[in-house]
Structure formats: structure tokens, C-alpha cells
Chain A
Amino acid sequence: MRQLAWGRVIRIGLIGAVTTIFLCLVGIVPTFHARSLIEGLVSLGQAALVLALLGTGWAASGAVSRGNSGAVVAAALAGAIAGAGLTALVVVGSVVDLREIFLPASPAMYEIISYGQGTVGAVLNIPFGAVIGAIAGAVRIAPLAVRRPLLTGMAAVLFMGLFSGILRNAMLTTPLQDLARLLFTAQGLTVLGAVLSFVLFAGIRELWFYTGLRRRIKDLPPARRRALSVPAFVLLAVVVIFLPQALGPFVAHVIAIVAIYILLALGLNITLGLAGLLDLGFVAFLAVGAYTVGLLTSTGEFGIAQMSFWAALPFAVIIAMLFGAFFGLPILNVRGDYLAIATLGFGEIIRILAGSDLLLPILGGPQGITQIPKPIDVPPNTFLAGPNQIYYIALAFAAVVAFVALRLRKARIGRAWLSIREDEDVAEATGVNLVQTKLLAYMLGAAFAGLGGGIFAGLVGSIFDSSINATVSINVVAIVVIGGMGSVPGAVLGAVFLIGVPELFREFADYRFLFYGAALIIMMIYRPEGLLPTRFAARVLHAEEGGVEGAVLAAGAAGDGDKA
């Protein structure tokens, strides 16, 4: 038996302690305590602490050799240390007034972590932490058949609890009202709801593996598998189409914004994902598109043409494209960090110009351009009313952008972009004209950003200088990076996570960038290629689909045959 790495275990425990104290002092625990995960049992704040303790135990268990029963002891020890962090916080807090520095260190916060029992209650955190840590440690070394359903079930409960409000509202509008009342309260899951979520999700996942369904689907001949994917796509399409109808106006607005960000991310994916050109001023093109649509369509003070949204949109695209070329030209020879700074500067230039006195008579400055008509004029409460139409429009265009990117990727231009991303100098020496190729990447990215901006103007109905914000650019870059460079599903997932989820949890808006930062750091350490990276193998897997790459691969296969 290998000696336990006590030093590491204690260190992990201390990191856990710092984490729990941090969660309390920045206010996550008290803020999240207001919402429950499981009604009357666990609040979200407590869940955050439990997660931290579980994580500590998990890490500590991994620090000692596998399959070692000492792993559980180590996990318990680390968990106890992490729990002791909370105890220490209560003790220190009773002597020193931490509120002078940490506003959230209120009596209510201490109440939560001491279970309303003062210092005595706080001491309970030590055995509590040990138990939670030990559970995590035991789960980690448990056989897969135990570990997998437990983790799946826990994730399911957490997910259902977090989204209980939205799910409940959605279900209340359908014949499933009674079920909704059974599973959810206004605050969170019921105990029954939690148990059902756990069993249901864990059960389905286990069935998926045990019945060998997964293996069987994988082993199907490609033609059959594709036939099977048709109903899946239909189902997905139905969900996508009826999502805003089912979830109500507030969520519809959120997913319309998400759809616009998907469009923007796919646009940036061409510049950044394919050609490798970092653009931190992407918002500039969004602004150009939005102001173009605003100026051309507004029926208010600053409108100049009173055009329809659809007549104005092509102008937004073309003008944004011209700006892309205009901004692209001076930075053709700028690389790396300098490119990031230069493009960031472009974004700021546009923002300041939009709010400047100089352009005040044209763009309206802080008053902005208002009374931008909706793209489709329909009475309220119909299928296409309000944000719903924006959601559909943005998604449709996002599909177009994804299609364009996919097609270009497998053509001369896409290869030139990739080669620039990989090694700009060698690409040029191999005959790629850097000026043309880079400009095209900037222009196409800008065109799609302009499209997104135009749609954004249609969604909000107004455009102000304050809408143009470096955070928009950073959001889009973060979506592309976290989702996976050059990956279409990655852009969708990234936009849902980074834009949708924070919008849905407005009550925790203060912590938005904290989670953002944490997510980025964790991603860069553990999964630098992104959540859903483009797999190189995908190219090979799509071989039988025919067309150009089919020909390429058929040639490759012929080569293989020769060899054999």
C-alpha cells in the first residue's frame, strides 16, 4: 500500500477551506440562500458549500493512490479541514467585525453557516465536512456502476433545482400543471421532485449504457445511423421552434439574445476560429449594423429613410463589411498581443464616436435612436410576436452563417485561413496572398456582426451608445473560446452558458463575472480546446457523405488499397 500523501491532502483541505470562506465572504452563500434547491431541505447557498466540500473530498481522494481505502480517510480529513474553515470564519467573525471589509459578512450569513446555533453550531461544520468529504471520496473510488448514476442524479437535481422556476412556469401553461405543482414550488424542487429527478435521469443514463443501446447505435452502419438521426433532428427542430412559445415572454427575450450571440459567435468564428485573427473590437461592427438599421428604419427623430427592417438589413451587412475592410487594412501586419490591443482600440473608437458630441446630431448620442420598428409587424400574443420573431430570425441567420463557415472551411479559402492560423509566414511562402485572405476574413466576420447588430436593433427597438460596450466583444470572444474554436455546436453551447444562464439568473447578476472568470480559468487549465471542439476526426468520419471531401477521401482510400 502506498503511503498516503498527507501533505497534499492537507493542502487540498486548506484550499477547500479558503473556497468555503470565500463563498461566504463574497456573499454567494447568503444571496443564494434566498432560493432553495430542495424546498425546506437545502438552499442554493448551502448547496454551493456542499459542492465545495464534495469537490475537496473528491480532489483529496484523487491525491492518494487509486482503490485505496485510505482515500476515504483522506477525503474525510480534507473535508473536515474545509468545514473547519467555516467554523474558523464564525469564530473570527464573533470577535472581529468583518463587515467593514466584507459587506456580506452579516449576522444572517453567520446564521446560515452555524445553523442558528452560534459557535457550537459552527463546530458542527467539521464533522459535517468530514462526512461530505468522505462521501465524495468514497464515490470517487467506487465502481463505475455506482459512481455514474450517483453523479448523474446529483447533476440532475442541481440542474432541475436551478431551472425550477423556468420549468415550472413553462409547465403551468400546459396540461402538466398538476405535475408541475407536485415537482416544483415557487422556490425550488419539492422533495418528491428531487427524488424523481435523481432517479429518472440516473435511470435513463444507466439504461442507455446497460441495454447496450449506445453500443448498438454506434455499431450501426452509417446509412442506418443517419436514418435514425432524422427523427432526432425533427425532435430537436420542434423543440427549437416551440421553445420561446413554451417558456413565456421573459425567457423568450433571453433566448432571443442568446440567438443573436450565437450569430455573433459564428461570425467571429470565421475571423478567430478559422483565420486565427483575434478581434477584441467585434462590437464595433455590431454597432455599425445596429446604427445602420436604426437610422434607416426609425420613425423617430433621427430616422432618415423610414425603410422597412428587411430593406435596411442588407445595408447593415454591407456597411459593416466595409468597416471590416477599413479596420482590417491597417492591422494586416499586426500580430498576436498587438492585434488584440489594436482591435480593442477600434471597438472603443466606435463607442466613443457614437456617444460623441460630433455625431450627436446624427446618432443621437446618449439619447440614441429610438422607435425602430419590429422586423415583422404582428399583433401581440401571436406566434411571431415580440422577441419570438427575433429569436427565429437570429437563429435562421445563425444557421446561414454556420453553413457558410462550414462550406468555406472545406474550400480553397478555408484552407488558406487555416494555414494562416497555423503559420502565417509559411502560408505566404506557400503562395497564399495574406492581404486578400486576411481582409476577407475580417470582412466576412464584420458582415455577420453587422447582421447581428441589425437584428439586435430590431429586438430592442432602440440603439444607444451605451449598448456598444467592450463587454460585448469580450462575451463573444469568450463564447468562441469556451465553446471551442471554429466549432458550431461549441458556439451554441457557449452562448447558452455564458449569455443565457446569467440572463436567467438576474438575481445573482453581481456574481456574473466572478463565474465567468472562474469558468474561463478552469477551462483554460482543464479543457483548453473548448467544450465542444472541432474534432479532426470529424473530417474523416464524414467521408462517406460524398461531395468534395468524399472525393478527397476516396482518393485517400484508394491509396490505402494500393498499399494493402
Chain B
Amino acid sequence: MPQLVVQGVTKRFGGLLAVHDLDFEIEERSIVSVIGPNGAGKTTFFNCIAGWYQIDAGTITFNGMPIDKLRRDQIARLGISRTYQNIRLFPEMSVTDNVLVGHHHFLRSGWLRSVLRTPGMVAEEIKAAEEARRILEFVGLRGVGGTQASKLPYGDQRRLEIARALATQPKLLLLDEPTAGMNPAETAQMTSFFRRLRDELGVTILLIEHEMRVVMGISERITVLDYGEKIAEGTPREIQSNPRVIEAYLGRGAGGGAASSQQPAASSDGAPAE
């Protein structure tokens, strides 16, 4: 059974159909990308899964459990975690504390025990701190635990966002344009890091990405959205030669001609047709 099943999901903003009657499935431990032109509804789709939006129609089930009526923190507890298109850390908090917020729902100490600093609470905190350090090391952030999150360089902030998401021990990780603003070397590093996430931690990865090198390089399957609807789905090879995808990216009329060229959507979206 697929890990996440999305059926007939619709999200409206006033008269705008941001996501329309969308069906989608993702298998456990797979890496899947969602692509599409700007405004295609990719982030809205993420927001529907992670509980940021109440959906207007359809159902979303995660490991067989309906989640479309749940709050964000409940969804996080079930094992869906995410990052954000524009980095959203807790900027004034330390790097370690950012990760520890991700641990929040594993920790039990209430306010009274925290005030009294009972041995159980101290043991729990030490364990959590150790775990946080391990996660930070895993994402490649070493020795910066005490730094203020907003003082980190850009790439490290992206890593910290992933570390925070990992701290919630997700089964499904939603990454919203995780390589945006990175140079090619960093992007390549990130790409192999995503594969490590899946291979070593067993996390399913759902990715919104504009960088086609990343998408084509690591995705096992790709879903293409346009105007809130799924226009194509398949392996990278299938998507590259799909005329509807080419049309969506390059505009009407370009489809026929470009279908013969082998990499129609090789650069980021909106690239002029050649």
C-alpha cells in the first residue's frame, strides 16, 4: 500500500482553483518530485498535505489514516515533516534549540518538572541534546550548536531546516525547493544528501524543485502540475518526452517541435524555447 494517498483533493482560494481534483500516491522510501511552472499549485499541494490548508474536497490518507482534518502538529507527530520555500527557521534561537523544537513531542517533562529540574528531566534533556548533535552532524553542521540560527550562512540555514525536520523523526519529508539559491557544487552535494536521507534513514522524500538537474538526477517518479491539475506522471524519462509537459513549460505551439529535442525542460522553468 502506498504511504501517502491523495484522492480528488481540491483547494480553492475565492474563485481560483489552486489545486483541482488531484490524485497522487507515493510509495514508502521513494523519492518523488513535483514540478510545474510558477503558480502551478505545487506549494499549495504541500500545504494541503501538511495541514496548513483545509482542503475543499477529497481525502488525504497517510499510512491508511485520514489526515486531512488534523492540525499541523498532529500531522507532524504522525511523521510528515517539511521545509519551506523561503527558509523559515526560528532565527533568534540557537541552532541546537531549533533542532530541539523538533524533538518537542518526544519530550515529556512538564513545566513543574522543568522548574524543579528533576533527574528525569535532566536525563531527558541530555539525551535530546545528544540526539540533536547527532542530527546536526548528519546534515553536516558541526560545532555550530550554540550559534544563533540567523547568523548561519545561507546553505547551512537550509541544512538546519532539514535537521529540524528530521528531529521530528519523519517518515515522509516534504522539501520545498531545497536547492533554491545554491550554486552548482552545493546543489550536487544536496542531491546526494537527499539520497543518503532515504538510504540511511529510510525517509520517503517528496520534493518540489525547479532545478531540473536535481529532479532528473534523483527522482524515481515525477508528477507535473499545471494550473492546479496533474498533467503528467511517470519516470524522469517519460516526463522529458511528454508533449503536455513541454507545452506547459514552453507554451502552446512549442510542444510539437520541442518533443524531438531530448531535454525540453533541461533548464529551470520559463526558459525560452529554442
Contact = CB atoms under 8 A, between A and B. Distances in A.
Nearest to A444: B111
Given A408-B115, A547-B122, A552 B96 contact: yes
B178 interface: no
Nearest to B130: A555
Interface string A196-220: 0000000000000000000000000
Interface in B85-132: 88-94, 96-97, 100-105, 107, 109-111, 114-115, 117, 121-122, 125-126, 129-130, 132
Nearest to A403: B115
B159 interface: no
A414 B94 CA distance: 13
A536 interface: yes
A391 to B, nearest CB: 25
A563 B143 contact: yes
B73 interface: yes
A551 B126 contact: yes
Interface in A427-468: 427-434, 440, 444
A430 B109 contact: no
A425 interface: yes
B73 A433 contact: yes
Interface stretch (B21-29, B58-66, B76-84, B235-243): B76-84
Contact of B92 (A422, A444, A543): A422
A412 interface: yes
A556 B96 contact: yes
A407 interface: yes
B176 to A, nearest CB: 12
B125 A411 contact: yes
B82 A429 contact: yes
B72 interface: yes
Nearest to B110: A413
Given A431-B105, A432-B104, A440 B137 contact: no
A413 B114 contact: yes
A431 B129 contact: no
A376 interface: no
Nearest to A423: B88
Interface of B: 50-52, 71-73, 75-77, 81-82, 84, 88-94, 96-97, 100-105, 107, 109-111, 114-115, 117, 121-122, 125-126, 129-130, 132-133, 136-137, 142-146, 148, 164-165, 168
B93 A415 contact: yes
A556 B143 contact: yes
A536 B101 CA distance: 17
Given A415-B97, A426-B88, A548-B117, A540 B146 contact: yes
Contacts of B103: 412
Nearest to B88: A426
B90 A426 contact: yes
A557 B96 CA distance: 12
A416 interface: yes
Given A408-B115, A411-B114, A551-B129, A427 B142 contact: no
A432 B101 contact: yes
A231 interface: no
B134 to A, nearest CB: 9
Given A407-B117, A422-B93, A555-B130, 10 more contacts: A412-B104, A418-B92, A427-B101, A429-B51, A429-B75, A430-B76, A432-B105, A551-B126, A551-B129, A553-B145
A539 B146 contact: yes
What 4 A-B pairs come out closest when comparing CB atoms?
Answer: A411-B114, A556-B145, A560-B143, A559-B143
A547 B114 CA distance: 12
A252 to B, nearest CB: 31
